[in-house]
Every structure is written in C-alpha cells, then in structure tokens.
C-alpha cells in the first residue's frame, strides 16, 4: 500500500510539473532574431508583438509592395505594351524581361511579387508614370497619404546599395501591407505560388513565388520577400486563420522563415472564438396580415436572426457586447421575397462595431 501511495504521489507531481511547463511555454513570447519586427492584426491595427518597430531600416525588395499597389491601382491591367528597354537593364532578381517583349501591367505585378523582378518594378514604374523618377515621387506621395511618416523611397525595386535614403520601419511596412491587401489584384498575385502567363507574342512566362511560407506555414496568403547586402533578409507576410488576418514584418532577420512561423503560432494561440446566439421573438404587425389557411387576421409575427462567431484576442472575449435594434412594428405590406431586415444585432467591443446580423420576419410561422 505504501508503494502505491508513493507511486500516486509521484504521478501527481509529474502531471503538475508538466502542466506548469505547458502553461509557461504558452505564455513565453517568441524572440525573433530580427533587428526590427512587428506582428499586427490587419483589420484592427492592434499590435500583438513588436521589437524596434519604429526604427528606420532598409527594407530591400519589400519595397515592391508599394510599387505593386500603385501599379494595380493604375488601371488598364490587361493591355499589352512594349517594355522600356532601358528600364529592364537592372541588376539583381528578374522575371526575365527582354528588349522588345510585350507585357501587361498585371504580368508585372506577378513579376514583382513572385520572383521579385527588379526589371518588372522598373518597367511598371515607366509604364505608370512615364519615368522612374516620377514614379518614385508618386510612391512617396502615397506613403505620406497613408501616414507612413518614417518611410522614404528612392527606387521602385528596393535596390539600396548606393543610397542611405531608401528606408522604412517594420510598423510602416505593416500599415502599408494592410492597405495593399485590400486591393484584389495585388492580393491575388501575392498568394499565388506559381503561374504561367502569356507574353504579347503568345509565348509562355513561367513564374514561381520565392515566399516559402506559402507552402510551409498554415494560412499564409503572401506577401513579399527581400534581400540586399545592406538590408539583410527582409520579409513581409500575412496569415489568415479562423477569420483573423495577421501581418508580420521582419527587417534584417537571418531566421525570417522560422520567426514568422513561430510568431503566427504564438499569436493565433492567443485568440479565442466566441459564439453568440441569435434571438427569436414576436413582433406586432402594423397593417393587414392574414393566416393563409384560416384567413384570420394576425396581430403578431415571429422574427428571428442574429447570432455570430467572432474570433478575437482571448483577453477581449469577455468584453464583447450585443445590442438588439428592432423596429416597433413589422409594417405591411412586406416585400414578397422577405429580403430586408426588421432589425439588427450589433456586436461591439469598447464601442467599436465588430459584426452585425440581420433579424427577419417568418411569415410561415405566423399564428
């Protein structure tokens, strides 16, 4: 009996120690090797982790996020044109453009975001603004409009070996990316692993994405890699899980793939999905409503709806409030397809609307 008690005590101690280790491991934040880093909720702007996020550093080819955004917004994405022969004479990574080739701006967006083509960035700049210098002015103007106060562009591609004036911060790059992902043409390209496009003469243009996270990290939907000797390894990525999109930026990080994966696993582990039930009530009717079987006049009708599943940081889950807004009556005659609500349930956090759900009458259930 003594041995059994000793065994049980040892087992309890082991379970307690293991539980403590798990709790502590979950609570410990990752420690990225990046000089600067940020992890941000793309929808709310909430910062979940940061390290030197407002320090100005070179950002290499992550610059092409801005170049791609301006190209995507310029319109005429599928009209072919001949690339400027001087623009494509550039060192570094390339999508393989040659003199005389006909491309579209959409092709150049893929050429920038997948193989990080410096030739694609310069060709896009000339196509949109007429010359590279004018396009750079457009980049800086747009950065100012976005409130990117610590960002300055010198090139469309991110090549920075000859200048110290091409810089940004992890925070600015995250804010830029949150805006860029709202553009459907850019976001579609950023999430593409590989693609075969057609040059103007009908020949194939095969492109492969250099962003390894698209294959190795669950939920990653982009965005852009970068490297120069001055900037080191730079990476901007976005990841969507359970309806939440996070953006991670690391600047000058020798372990960027690993750091992004760990930061996402850590951050999404801090989120919780909260389910809210809808409502079903009876509302008075204003106007004529009759039972289809008996022909009896009806004074009330059932209305129902609402309900939501909202994913948010666990620390905020208990503070979500639901507010029911209903009209005083269901006014008749009502639209035959019953497709407009008589009220809403609003789900808010600290006064900010998270989600809303409509409430609709069910005339089939009227009594």
d(CA 304, CA 266): 38
- Active site includes 64? yes
116 labelled catalytic: yes
Cis bond upstream, residue 333 (ω within 30) = yes
* CB 36 within 8 Å of CB 126: no
Question: Among 53, 68, 93, 116, which one carries the catalytic annotation?
Answer: 116
The candidate with the shortest Cα–Cα distance to 228, out of 186, 306, 178, 167, is 167
Q: What angle do CA 261, 267, 268 make, to 5 degrees?
A: 90
The percent of the chain in helix, strand and coil, each rounded to the nearest 5, is 30, 30, 35
Bridge partners of 97, per DSSP, are: none
Is residue 172 within 8 A of residue 236, CB to CB? The reply is no
Neighbours of 269 (CB within 10 A): 10
Cβ contacts of residue 281 below 8 Å, gap of 6+? 302, 303, 304, 326
Q: Which residues pair with 246 in a beta bridge?
A: 41, 239
Query: Which of these, 170, 179, 194, lies nearest to 52 by C-alpha position?
Result: 170
Instruction: Of 34, 17, 18, give the one whose Cα is nearest residue 236.
Output: 34
| Beta carbons within 10 angstroms of residue 322's beta carbon | 18
CA atoms within 13 Å, Cβ hemisphere of 262: 16
- How many Cα atoms within 13 Å fall on the side-chain side of residue 355? 14
- Among candidate residues 64, 68, 129, 187, the one labeled active-site is 64
Q: Are 234 and 251 in contact (CB under 8 A)?
A: yes
Active centre residues (catalytic): 61, 64, 116
């Amino acid at each position: 009996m003594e041995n059994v008690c000793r065994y049980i005590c040892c087992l309890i101690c082991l379970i307690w120690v293991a539980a403590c280790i798990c709790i502590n491991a979950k609570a410990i934040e990752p420690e990225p090797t990046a000089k600067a880093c940020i992890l941000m909720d793309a929808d709310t702007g909430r910062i979940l982790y940061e390290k030197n996020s407002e320090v100005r550093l070179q950002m290499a080819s992550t610059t092409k996020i801005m170049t791609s955004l301006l190209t995507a917004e310029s319109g005429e994405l599928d009209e072919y044109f001949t690339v400027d022969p001087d623009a494509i004479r550039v060192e570094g990574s390339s999508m393989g453009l040659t003199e005389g080739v006909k491309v579209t701006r959409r092709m150049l967006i893929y050429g920038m975001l997948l193989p990080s083509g410096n030739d694609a960035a310069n060709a896009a700049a000339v196509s949109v603004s007429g010359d590279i210098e004018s396009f750079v002015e457009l980049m800086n103007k747009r950065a100012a409009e976005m409130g990117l106060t610590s960002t300055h562009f010198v090139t469309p591609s991110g090549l920075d070996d000859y200048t110290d004036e091409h810089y940004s911060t992890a925070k600015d790059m995250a804010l830029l990316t949150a805006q860029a992902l709202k553009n459907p043409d850019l976001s579609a390209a950023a999430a593409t692993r590989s693609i075969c496009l057609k040059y103007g003469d009908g020949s194939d243009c095969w492109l492969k994405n250099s962003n390894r996270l698209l294959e190795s990290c669950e939920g990653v939907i982009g965005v852009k890699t970068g490297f120069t000797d001055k900037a080191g390894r730079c990476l901007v990525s976005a990841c969507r899980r359970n309806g939440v999109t996070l953006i991670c930026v690391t600047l000058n990080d020798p372990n960027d793939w690993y750091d992004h994966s760990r930061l996402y696993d850590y951050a999404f582990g801090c989120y919780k999905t909260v389910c809210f039930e809808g409502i079903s009530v009876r509302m008075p009717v204003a106007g004529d409503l009759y039972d289809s079987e008996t022909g009896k006049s009806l004074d009330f009708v059932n209305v129902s709806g609402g309900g939501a599943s909202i994913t948010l940081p666990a620390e905020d889950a208990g503070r979500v409030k639901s507010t029911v807004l209903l009209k005083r009556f269901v006014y008749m005659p009502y639209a035959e397809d019953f497709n407009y609500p008589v009220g809403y349930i609003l789900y808010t956090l600290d006064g900010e609307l998270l989600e809303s759900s409509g409430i609709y009458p069910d005339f089939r259930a009227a009594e």
